[in-house]
Amino acid sequence: MVRSKQVWPRLGSRPKTHGRRPPLLRRLDPRGFFKPILLLWSTAKTCNQTTTARKGHEKKVFVFDPCVSHFHSLYLSSPHKNTSRLIEIEENKAITANRLLAVKRKSGKSYSQIAEQTGLTNVYVAQLLRRQAQLKPDTAPVLRAALPDLTNELLQEMMRPPMRSYDPSLIQEPTIYRLNEAVMHFGESIKEIINEEFGDGM
């Protein structure tokens, strides 16, 4: 009885395709080294996009986290419902911020003038009026003295913890881009000062 000789493929040899050309990805990357990278890239490219119709216009929400957009069904019981809730929160925040900024414009005062009257910093005053920071109860009377047109409803809304978020397209504004560039270049130095003055800083 003659045993058939087993032929092992040489390293780097092309697999037989029986007359059919393999897919482009297999031809470019036969060993699959770049498959995880391409998976993340394709997932981030096809990020979760939800279009919601509200008050006669459409609003698009993009989620740029590839893990969340690709595996959102594993973590969120109802992703569309949660996205609609986030849209509603952001819209309410924008409405409140517009009302607060209207009160500031009516007063004719700058952020620095309001800060001088309240004993706060001008940046913190801007954060309060844009609903980016929470108003403390002991600060509410002095802020109302500086801005008499603030209603009880607005003050109660300002004392609620805000939903902190950012718009990715905001980086296109030149001043904000330069601020981001400064933090990227000098972040280590700023971090050392924070650690010396305040500890961990987190």
Residue pLDDT, tens place only, 155-192:
999 999 998 888 889 999 999 999 999 999 999 999 99
Burial (Cβ within 10 Å: 0-12, 13-18, ≥19) of residue 128: buried
At residue 168, the pLDDT reads 87
Question: Does domain 95-165 bear CATH number 1.10.260.40?
Answer: yes
Which are the contacts of 121, defined by CB distance < 8 A and separation ≥ 6? Answer: 115
At residue 135, the pLDDT reads 96
CATH 1.10.260.40 spans which residues of the chain?
95-165
Alpha-carbon span 99 to 82, nearest angstrom: 26
Q: Which among 126, 102, 131 is positioned nearest to 113, based on CA atoms?
A: 126
Which residues of the chain are modeled with pLDDT < 70? 1-82
At residue 100, the pLDDT reads 97
At residue 176, the pLDDT reads 93
Q: Enumerate the β-bridge partners of residue 61.
A: 50
Alpha-carbon span 126 to 89, nearest angstrom: 20
Residue 47 has φ and ψ, to the nearest 5°, of -70, 160
Q: Whole-number mean pLDDT of the chain?
A: 76
At residue 51, the pLDDT reads 41
Alpha-carbon span 22 to 15, nearest angstrom: 9
Alpha-carbon span 87 to 65, nearest angstrom: 17
At residue 143, the pLDDT reads 97
